[in-house]
Amino acid sequence: MSVPPDDQTRAWVAAWKERGKALEEVRKQELRALTEEEAGRLFAKMAFDPGTMWISPERAESAGFIEQQRIFMRSHEHPARHRRRF
């Protein structure tokens, strides 16, 4: 059961949407004003160590491209047989 929003809630949502637009514009201006050096420094802070990423057991040995190509070839060779299987 949901409660219909009251006038105060509607006003809050409308104000938040307007502020969101203004904040997005500020963000764009700040990004445009960055020098290459500042942008590089910020990017370096965001960069992550690929060794710390979790990789599923299925993808530990392969990215899946070989399997994908095998499926495509099989579908191409016998389109009717594999049409609904994917």
- Rounded to whole angstroms, the Cα distance separating 24 from 20 reads 6
pLDDT in the model for residue 3: 66
pLDDT in the model for residue 21: 92
- Taking CA 33 as the corner, what is the angle to CA 18 and CA 20, rounded to the nearest 5 degrees? 10
Which two tokens mark 72?
A: 């495509």
Give percent of the chain above pLDDT 90: 31
Q: What is the pTM of this model?
A: 0.41
Cα dist from 3 to 9, 27, 55, 82, whole Å: 11, 34, 43, 48
